[in-house]
Each structure stands twice: as C-alpha cells, then as structure tokens.
Structure 1
C-alpha cells in the first residue's frame, strides 16, 4: 500500500481539500486498494474540527466527498508511515523539517512541484485570502499530476 499525506498549517483548508480531491481521483482510478490518503497540519489550533466552510463549500460544488476528514496534527511516526509527504507551501516544509531528524531526511515535496509551470510555487492559504476557488483549481491540477507521477513511479 502506498500512503500519501497532505500537509498544511492548520489542516482545515488546503490539506483536507487535497485529501478529499486526491481520494476522489484514487477512487475514480480504481486504486483504493493500492493508495491510501490522509492529511494533517503542522499546528494544533483546529484539532478534531471538520474542514473550513469554504473548503466544504467548494468540495460540495464539485461533488467531492469529504466524509470523515477531521483536523489532526502531524506526528513523528508520519515520516515512517507515509511514502509521499506533500506540503502546500515553503513554511509547511520548514515546519515539517523542524519536527525531527527523520523529517529532515524525508522526501517532502510541495504539491505545486508536480506542475512544471508552477514548480516551486505555494498553494496560497484561503483561510486568510478567501480564494477557495483558485486554491481548488491548483489543488485539483496538482492532484492530477501527483497521481500520474505516483502511478508511473510505483508502476500501478
């Protein structure tokens, strides 16, 4: 089983959106028995909360299920449980790397790195900007590209 973890700051906007979108794409591809998906935040402000209303709204508009997604904080064992740790921005990468030596060595990528023309870019935080539609578009394309990458690399 291949395990994918999406990470943002509070785990209520971007990473749960990415989790729901990617889970939907995995399901559509018939790969649920090969790929598992989760999300987490580097901060602990929203533990146990459902996704932000803006995230829920844009997911509903696009008929994407987010059932069961609740905010959680990254844990030390995430680095050994997940083969793909996908951060939303540079600060998330720095926060992850500061958790432990294991995270410093881990293969942490940013979601937009899978889109060649956006490589190095950050998925903006709609918690502050309210731009949930723009973020959804970035997440949707990033998840398409990430799934294609994983399918090719893992030969599934």
Structure 2
C-alpha cells in the first residue's frame, strides 16, 4: 500500500453504549492521526453494541477528563454498530470481550478478521486486555480509560503507518 493510491483506512472503536470508552478512543486516536498529518488517509468513527444512548453526546465526565488532556469530543454522537460497518471498516476495535463477542455474533464471516480488542495494540497488553467501563465508577475510572487508550492509540497508529508505508 502506498501513498499514490491514497488508500483510506477506516477505523471503528466500539464499546457498549458509545458514550464513554469508544468516543474517548475516537477523540484520542483522531488527535494522534492529526498530529501525524494523516487525517487524509485515516477515517475514524465510534459506535456501540447497544442502542441505549443513540443520538446522545458522550458522557460529560468522559468529555471533561479528555479535555483536560487536550482531546475534544466536539460533535460526537452515540450510534449503534450496523451490519454495513463490518464491510466499511478495516479495523473494528472492541473495548472489552463482551463487545467483541457481541460483534462476532453479528459479523459476516468474511469480515471477522477485522475484529479485535483495542488493547492488543497497547504496551500494557500483557497485564491488561480490556478497557474497563467507567460509567458507574468515580473519576479515577475515566483516567484509567484515558491511560489505556492513549497507549493503544500510539501502538495502533504505528501499526497502520507501517501498513501504509509498505
């Protein structure tokens, strides 16, 4: 894959309700991609496996925690994963095993290889494989999500850049 054909790579981050973890990943990864001047090549979106919050903005606590680190969730709105997403996206990254198995159940077999856990791209993978849901916890939960997602975003971007340059 080279720059000449300007292949776009589409990345989808998925959690349960698409209001805490996946919009956080969306905002952080978007920030890294923009900093690397690759926004013309990499498209980013997020969705939830459940439609509880469809149309809502991200959780205010998640937005505030992210903003403190310079990540904006401006304009993001919760939506549910749709069958067409499996064909449209190249990377479909789940925050935890429940999200992953929910998607594996619905995903057409020829797209299953696009599904993985986000933290597979993190240096913390050996000790931590799931991004814990901060929804019912205190402030600290949102900080943990940011730490884990920052690490995975850096790893994911390195992985994609290698793929683009090959």
TM beyond 0.5: yes
1:126 aligns to 2:101 (yes or no): no
Aligned residue among 40, 44, 56 for 2:51: 44
Give yes or no for contact 1:79–1:106 (8 Å, CA) kept in 2.
no
SS in structure 2 at match of 1:128: coil
Which position in structure 2 is the counterpart of 1:139? 149
Shift in CA distance, 96/133, structure 1 to aligned 2, threshold 3 Å: same
Which position in structure 2 is the counterpart of 1:4? 11
Q: How far off is 1:44 after superposition?
A: 0.5
Which position in structure 2 is the counterpart of 1:55? 62
Shift in CA distance, 132/63, structure 1 to aligned 2, threshold 3 Å: same
Aligned residue among 16, 24, 48 for 2:23: 16
Which position in structure 2 is the counterpart of 1:151? 161
* Consecutive unaligned residues in structure 1, runs of 5 or more: none
Q: How far off is 1:104 after superposition?
A: 6.4
Give yes or no for contact 1:79–1:103 (8 Å, CA) kept in 2.
no
CA distance in 2, matches of 1:14, 1:38: 12
CA distance in 1, matches of 2:79, 2:129: 25
CA distance in 2, matches of 1:7, 1:21: 14
CA distance in 2, matches of 1:14, 1:72: 13
**More moved, 20-29 vs 105-114:** 105-114
* Consecutive unaligned residues in structure 2, runs of 5 or more: 1-7
Alignment: residue pair count: 156
Give yes or no for contact 1:79–1:102 (8 Å, CA) kept in 2.
no
Shift in CA distance, 38/103, structure 1 to aligned 2, threshold 3 Å: farther
